[in-house]
Amino acid sequence: MKYEAITIKDIAKALELSTSTVSRALRDSHEISFETKERVIAYAKEMNYRPNPIALSLKEKRSSSIGVLVSEIANSFFSQAINGIESVAQEHGYNVIIAQSKEDYQREVSALNYLASRSVDGILISVSAGTSDFSNINELYLRGMPLVSFDRVVDHLKMHKVKVDNYKGGYEATKHLIKNGYKNIACIASSAYLSITEERVAGYKDALKSSGMAIDETMIDYCLHSGLIYEEVEAVMARMMKQKNKPDAILACSDKITTNVMRYCQIKKIKIPTKIGLLGFSNLDLTDLLTPSLSVVRQPASEMGRIAAELLIKTIESKRALTTFEEVILPTELFQRASSAKKPKVK
C-alpha cells in the first residue's frame, strides 16, 4: 500500500541507464539524445517522480526556504504581513517557515538559533517587545545570514529595515481629530520600550504643538503589554475619565488598545464619537465598520511583508557580503469611513 517515493536511482535501474543520464535527461540537458530524454521523462511522469528537495538543499547549500519570526501569528497585523511574505516567497520558489516568540526572549533566541542553523536561506524578523539583548541577531549577521527586520526594527542593528512612518501616522491621526473639533485629545500608547511607540507619541505631540495646543502629560499613558490585557486599558481609561482635564478624544496606538477602548466605552455606555472621539491604529478587518465615524490608522501590513520578502530574497540571491543596508519606510493609511460622520458635540 504505502509505496516509497521514487528516486533517480530507481528510474536509472528500471531503464538501465546511469543516474547521471537520468538526472541530465530530467533537466533537459542538450547532451542527451532525444530518444533517451523521452523515455526518461515519460517514465518519470508515469511514476510521479519528484526530486527530493532535501537532497537538493544539501547539494546546493541552500534550502529554498525563508524563516519568519514574529511575536504572535494570530495578530492581524502579523498574519497580514505573513500573507504578503508567503505570496512573494511562493512567486520566487521559496517556502516559508514560521516561528513565534510570544513576546518571550528565550523563545526568540531558540527559534532564531534553529532557523539559523542553515535550515533557512534568510530570516525576516520583527523583534519581540521585551528584547533588549540583540547579540544573537548580531551573531547571525556575522555568519552572513541574510536578514531583514520589519515593523519593530532595531535602529543600531546592521540589517535591512522595513517599517511604517509611525511619526507621521501619529501626527496625521492627531491632526484628524483636531480637525474634527476635538479639544482634549489623550494618547494611549504601547510599551514605552518600543521605538514605534516613541515615534507615534512624538507625532502626537508635534501635531498638538503645531495647532497651538498644550501637551498635558496626564493625557498620555502607556500599556506595557500593548493593550493585550483589557484591565491595562481599563485602568488608563478610568484614570483619565476621572481627572479634571477629561479627554474628549482618544488616540489609541495599537490594535488591542483600540478595541479595548471601544469595549470600555461600550461597558461604560460612553458613546463614540459623540461623547468621545476615537482614532486607533488597527489592522483588523472590521474597524472601519465599527462605529459611524471611527477612523483608523492602518499599516500596509501585507505590502510591508511583500517588500520585506522581496528585499530578503534579493539579498539571498546576490550573495555578496553586505556593507550597506536599506531602510524602507512606508506611509500609514488614514482610513476614513466614507459615510457621513457624526460630528462630536463641540463644547
Site residues, a copy of itself (CB under 8 A): 1-3, 5, 48, 50-55, 57-58, 63, 65, 72-76, 78-80, 82-83, 86-87, 90, 95-100, 107, 111, 113-114, 116-119, 139, 142-144, 259, 262-263, 266-267, 284-287, 289-290, 302, 321, 339
List the beta bridge partners of residue 221: 188
Q: Please give the C-alpha separations between residue 36 and each of 7, 11, 13, 21, 165, in angstroms, as whole numbers.
A: 17, 12, 14, 9, 59
Q: Distance between CA atoms of 187 and 173, rounded to whole angstroms?
A: 11
Nearest to 300 by CA among 174, 160, 151, 176: 151
Residue count at the site for DNA (CB under 7 A)? 28
Q: How far apart are the first and last CA of the chain?
A: 78
Is 18 a residue that touches DNA (CB under 7 A)? yes
Segment lying near DNA (by CB under 7 A), choices 32-40, 218-226, 280-288, 319-327:
32-40
| Binder of residue 211, out of DNA, a copy of itself, none (CB less than 5 to 8 A by kind) | none
Task: Identify whether the C-beta of residue 69 lies closer than 8 Å to the C-beta of residue 81.
Answer: no
Is 113 a residue that touches DNA (CB under 7 A)? no
Is 90 a residue that touches DNA (CB under 7 A)? no
Is 256 a residue that touches DNA (CB under 7 A)? no
The residue (of 115 and 297) whose beta carbon lies closer to DNA is: 115
Task: State the alpha helices, DSSP H only, in 47-99.
Answer: 53-60, 76-91
CA atoms within 13 A on the CB side of 321: 5
Q: From the CB of 78, what's the least distance to DNA, in Å?
A: 32
The residue (of 17 and 116) whose beta carbon lies closer to a copy of itself is: 116
The residue (of 7 and 191) whose beta carbon lies closer to DNA is: 7
Segment lying near DNA (by CB under 7 A), choices 22-30, 77-85, 185-193, 206-214:
22-30
Q: From the CB of 157, what's the least distance to a copy of itself, in Å?
A: 16
Element spanning 225, H or E: none
Q: From the CB of 139, what's the least distance to DNA, in Å?
A: 17
The residue (of 12 and 270) whose beta carbon lies closer to DNA is: 12
E-state strands within 129-271: 147-150, 160-164, 185-189, 220-222, 249-252
In the sheet that 220-222 helps form, which strands lie side by side, from edge to edge?
220-222, 185-189, 249-252, 277-281, 295-298, 333-335
Task: Identify whether the C-beta of residue 262 lies closer than 8 Å to the C-beta of residue 290.
Answer: yes
Residue ranges in contact with DNA by CB under 7 A: 5, 7-9, 16-21, 23-24, 26-27, 30-33, 35-36, 50-52, 55-56, 58-59, 61
